[in-house]
């Protein structure tokens, strides 16, 4: 992988909480425009790994390299890094007192100094992108879970991120709403948004992922092209996990 192509690299990343070592030397490279799906049992360290990427959890050892620069050495750069990295959580985490469009407008106005009118235009454009422009003036508690998660995606996109991270974005949704969220994520991935996604939605993984990474007990045990992974060439533990969730 050339330096040009590579946008993100984790090098021998460890994370320890008190005396619990949760990440045990993880290495991961992500190319521009690539979509990587991260799977593994509960407690294996997937969320922690994602949070290390944008330094919500600084690694205890090892480094995070973003666009060729080590960003884990000096946490003063973390705010800037997080502007370039959009993150979407299981529970949406929208601001309840703001409407859908206001949720999207907040960061561009506060962080980028965008005018209210421009931020509103951007908000509407992004709500069109996630297929709910008619919901602009609704508050989170007036939206379905699937709509709230699409607002959360639009809010992350408002900062024009270079990577999107998703942590089980459909796990809290009723089954009938999962598809509308995965469809938006697939569209973004197809448009070339670099993506790292923790999910157990294997249909999405097959459709959208270039690579599947399997974690267990703080280690990356498999990192394979999607067709190889699903073509029966994943290692034994990954196969066993797959058979349990499919
Ligand atoms: P996954 O997302 O794969 O379910 P996590 O990364 O959430 O796994 O958690 C991995 C392990 O790290 C778990 O044992 C969890 O309890 C522990 N852990 C995660 N965050 C913290 C924290 N802030 N403090 C202490 N332990 C944590
Ligand atoms: Mg998790």
Query: So what's the ipTM on this one?
Result: 0.98
- How many A from CA of 213 to the centre of ligand 1? 18
Residue 218 Cβ inside 6 Å of ligand 1? The answer reads no
Question: Which ligand 1 atom sits nearest the alpha carbon of residue 17?
Answer: 25
Is the CB of residue 34 less than 8 Å from the CB of residue 4? no
φ and ψ at 101, to 5 degrees?
-65, -35
Residue 213 Cβ inside 6 Å of ligand 1? The answer reads no
**Summary mean pLDDT of the chain:** 96
- How many A from CA of 43 to the centre of ligand 2? 7
Question: Can you tell me whether residue 136 is helix, strand or coil?
Answer: coil
Ligand nearest, relative to CA of residue 23: 1
**Residue 76: band (very low, low, confident or very high) from pLDDT cuts 50, 70, 90:** confident
- The pTM of this model reads 0.97
- How many A from CA of 241 to the centre of ligand 1? 19
Over the stretch 25-70, which tens digit does the pLDDT of each residue have? 999 999 999 999 999 999 999 999 999 999 999 999 999 999 999 9
């Amino acid at each position: 992988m050339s330096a040009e192509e590579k946008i993100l690299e984790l090098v021998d990343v460890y994370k320890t909480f008190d005396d619990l070592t949760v990440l045990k030397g993880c290495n991961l490279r992500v190319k521009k425009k690539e979509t990587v799906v991260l799977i593994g049992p509960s407690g294996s360290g997937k969320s922690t790994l994602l949070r290390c990427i944008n330094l919500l959890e600084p690694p205890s050892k090892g480094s995070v390299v973003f666009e060729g620069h080590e960003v884990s050495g000096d946490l003063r750069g973390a705010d800037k890094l997080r502007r370039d990295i959009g993150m979407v959580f299981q529970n949406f985490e929208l601001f309840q007192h703001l409407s859908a469009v206001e949720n999207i407008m907040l960061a561009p106005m506060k962080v980028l100094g965008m005018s209210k009118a421009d931020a509103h235009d951007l908000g509407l454009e992004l709500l069109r992108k996630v297929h709910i422009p008619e919901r602009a003036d609704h508050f989170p508690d007036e939206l379905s879970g699937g709509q709230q998660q699409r607002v959360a995606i639009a809010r992350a996109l408002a900062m024009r991120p270079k990577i999107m991270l998703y942590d089980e974005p459909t796990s809290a949704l009723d089954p009938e709403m999962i598809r509308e969220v995965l469809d938006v994520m697939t569209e973004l991935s197809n448009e070339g948004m670099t993506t790292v996604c923790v999910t157990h939605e294997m249909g999405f993984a097959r459709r959208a992922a270039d690579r599947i990474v399997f974690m267990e007990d703080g280690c990356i045990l498999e990192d394979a092209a999607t067709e190889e992974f699903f073509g029966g060439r994943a290692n034994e533990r990954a196969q066993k996990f797959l058979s349990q969730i499919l």
